[in-house]
Amino acid sequence: MSIERVENVLRRKRLTLIPINCLHPDDQLYTVLAFQPYGNLESSNTFLKNCDREGVKRKFSEFIKLAGSKAIDLAITPEYACPWEVIEDSIQNNWLPKQGKIWIFGCESITPTELDELADRHKNIKWIYERITPSMGKTFLDPACLIFNARDSNGKNHTVFIVQFKNCAMGDRRYNFERDKLLLGTRSYVLSNDENSIFLHVLICSDALNFSWKALPQHLQQPYLICHLQLNLDPQSIHIRPYRQEAYRKGWASKEFFCLNWAKGFKVSGFNQSSFGGSVLFTKASDSDLNLTDERLSNNHIKGFYYTRLEKLYAHSFVFNYGEHAFLFRTTKCSQALAAPPAQKRTGPEMLDVFVWHLHNAEWRRIESVDDGFSSACGQIGGDLSTLLDQSLTRINIERLLTLSSGKIRGGEGEDWYDPKRIIYFNVREDEIVQRLTVADDPDRIVNDERNQVLQLFSELKNNITKIACNFPITLKGLRDRCQVNYSNNRNEFNFNLYSEDRSAKGTGAFIGAKSESDARRIFNDMADLLGNDQSTLVVWYFLGGRFQYIFDNQDKITKAYSEGRKSITKEGEDE
C-alpha cells in the first residue's frame, strides 16, 4: 500500500489546494458535524448498502444541507454510510463544501464500473481515484470520499473528490465477506495545506490492522489528524486500537484521532446487532491546556459527549453517546504553532448542538439533552435514589457523590480528589471501555456490575445506615436526627455528603460494604488524608461478622447486628 501526498496528486492535475481551515495550525477553533447513523444494512456478492433506501437518503441529504447551512469546517460520516445517490444529488444541486471546508464521507459500497460511470456523468468535478479491476469473485469497493476545493492556474475554483478505498479486509470469522468479495485499494492519501500544516489521513475501519506510522510522511515531527471511519461491532478491539495507543505511548502529543462508528443497534445482514457505538475523539492536549471545568464537562455531558481519561497514556478521550445523532462541536487544533505563544492553548472540544432525526417532518431537529442511561440504571437498583436524580446536581457532581459515598476516592493525589482526572471512574480501561458511573450505554458486564455495586452501597447508606441515630459517632451527633445524604454544587463543600435537615451540621460518610477492619482503617486513613481539615467529621461504615461497624476520627467503632425481628446495638469505646 502506497501513501500519496495530495499536493503532488493535485500538481499533476495542475491544481493547487485551497487551504483547509481545520489544518491551519493556529489558535482558531474549527467546527465539526459528525453523523453517527443507526440502521440495517444488506449484503450480497456485489454490494453492502442500507436497507431503507428512501429513509436513509433523506437523512443524509438533510445532513449535507445542515453542514452547508452551518458553514461546517469538517463534516464526516462513518464507513459504508452515505448513499451514492445522495452524493450525486449534492453535485447536481451544488450542495458542496465551500472554500476552506472539507467533507469526509464514508460511502456505501460501489463497483469500479459504477464509479467510472458516476465520474463520467459529472465531469465538472475533479475526480481522483485508482483504477481497480474486479477479479476472482471480488466485485465491490469500500470507499471514503474526501471532498474539498482547489484552484487551477487560471484562478478558477474546482471541487475535488478524492475517493480512497479500504486496503485491508475485515475478518469476520463467519462468512469472510470482505475477504472474498471486497476489492482492496492499494493507495491512501495525506492531505496538508503546506509543510507547516497539520496533516490529515483517513483510515477505513480495518485499515488499522496493517497501519504503520513509518509509512506516513514526517510522522515523527508533524502534527496529524487521523479520521478513522468504521462500521464495527468491536471498534476498541485489541487489533484495532494499537495505532493510537502507540502514538500516545511514545509521547506524540500533536496527534489527534477521531474515530467515528455507527450508532448502537446497527445490524448487517447475517451478523449480530451492535451492542454499542464507539465513536471517540482522542487528544493528548496537556492537562493545563484542556478545559476540564465543571461547566464545560457538564454541558458536554448533557449533549451526549462524555469526558474520560487514558491515565497511563496521559491522554484524554471524549466519547459520543451511542444513539443515532448528528453532533455539532467545535474544538482546538492539534498544533497551534503559527499562533502567538500566549494564544496557544488546546482547550479541547465543546459540544454546541446535537440533532435527532424527526421522521414525520424529515428533518434534523436540535434537542436540549441526550439520555445517558443513568436514570434507568438507578431504576434497576430499587430503594430511594432520588438524590441521584436531582436535576440540580450535575452528572459530574453525582460521580463525586457516589465516589465519596463508596470510599473510592484515591489517596496520594493531594486534596483535589474531586478533580475529574483523579476520579477512578473517569479513567478508561486499557481496552478503552468507559467506566463512568453516569454513562450507562456500554454493555460491558464488569463496568455494569461495578456501577450496580456502587449504587447499592449508596442506597444502603442513604436509606438505612443514616436513618438510625445510634449509627453515628459522637463526632457527628448533629446528624443523628434526620440526616440527609446529599451533595452541593459549591466547590467548598465537595468533601461533604451528610447534612442535617436544616444544614447546620455536615459530615462525610462512606459505606464500603463487606470489608475487614484493616481494609476499613486503610480506606479511612486514605480518605482522611485527602479531606484534610474536614477529616474530623469523617465516618466509614463497613460490614463484618454479620454487623455494620464504623471507624471515625478517634478510631472508635460501633457495631450493629441486623435481624428481621429485633435491633441489637453494641457500642465499643464510647460512653452513652
Identify whether residues 435 and 561 lie together within a single domain. yes
AA identity, residue 81: A
Identify whether residues 445 and 380 lie together within a single domain. yes
User: What's the chain's average pLDDT?
Assistant: 93
Q: Is residue 273 part of a domain?
A: no
Scan for cell 464545560, then name that residue: 296
Identify whether residues 388 and 360 lie together within a single domain. no
What pLDDT is recorded for position 541? 97
Q: Is residue 354 part of a domain?
A: yes
Residue 415 — very low, low, confident or very high, per pLDDT cuts 50/70/90? low
AA identity, residue 407: G
Identify whether residues 405 and 350 lie together within a single domain. no
Cα 280 to chain center, whole Å? 4
Separation between Cα atoms, residue 259 and residue 106, nearest integer Å: 12
Give DSSP secondary structure letters for 133-198: --BTTB-BB-EEEEEEEEEETTS-EEEEEEEEE--SPPP-SSS-HHHHHBPPP-EEEEE-SSTTSP
pLDDT (mean) for 76-89: 98
Identify whether residues 447 and 498 lie together within a single domain. yes
Give the chain's domain count.
2
What pLDDT is recorded for position 416? 87
pLDDT (mean) for 307-315: 96
Identify whether residues 416 and 553 lie together within a single domain. yes
pLDDT > 70 in the chain, percent: 95
pLDDT (mean) for 201-206: 98
Q: Is residue 332 part of a domain?
A: yes
- The domain in which residue 421 lies consists of 375-572
Q: Is residue 115 part of a domain?
A: yes
For residues 446 and 435, the answer to whether their CB atoms sit within 8 Å is no
What pLDDT is recorded for position 317? 98
For residues 374 and 438, the answer to whether their CB atoms sit within 8 Å is yes
Identify whether residues 474 and 364 lie together within a single domain. no
Identify whether residues 444 and 387 lie together within a single domain. yes
Identify whether residues 117 and 46 lie together within a single domain. yes
In order of 104, 250, 351, the CA distances from 36 in angstroms are 13, 30, 15
Identify whether residues 403 and 525 lie together within a single domain. yes
Check whether 568 has a pLDDT greater than 70.
Answer: no
Write the pLDDT tens digit of every residue in 426-481.
999 889 999 999 999 899 999 999 999 999 999 999 999 999 998 999 889 999 98
Separation between Cα atoms, residue 530 and residue 517, nearest integer Å: 20
Predicted model pTM: 0.94
Write the pLDDT tens digit of every residue in 486-498.
999 999 999 999 9
Q: Is residue 338 part of a domain?
A: yes
Separation between Cα atoms, residue 415 and residue 262, nearest integer Å: 40
Among 27-41, 380-394, 401-415, 431-445, the range scoring the smallest mean pLDDT is 401-415
Residue 557 — very low, low, confident or very high, per pLDDT cuts 50/70/90? very low
Q: At residue 153, what are phi and psi to the nearest 5 degrees? A: -65, -20
Q: Is residue 387 part of a domain?
A: yes
Among 33-37, 159-163, 228-232, 429-433, the range scoring the smallest mean pLDDT is 429-433
Identify whether residues 332 and 465 lie together within a single domain. no
Q: Is residue 173 part of a domain?
A: yes
Separation between Cα atoms, residue 161 and residue 158, nearest integer Å: 10
Q: Is residue 153 part of a domain?
A: yes
Separation between Cα atoms, residue 232 and residue 80, nearest integer Å: 11
Write the pLDDT tens digit of every residue in 18-52.
999 999 999 999 999 999 999 999 999 899 999 99
Identify whether residues 361 and 383 lie together within a single domain. no
Give the DSSP letter of residue 427: B
- Relative to beta strand 74-82, strand 102-107 is parallel
Residue 374 — very low, low, confident or very high, per pLDDT cuts 50/70/90? very high
Among 221-235, 402-416, 456-470, the range scoring the smallest mean pLDDT is 402-416
pLDDT (mean) for 140-162: 98
pLDDT > 90 in the chain, percent: 88
Cα 236 to chain center, whole Å? 12
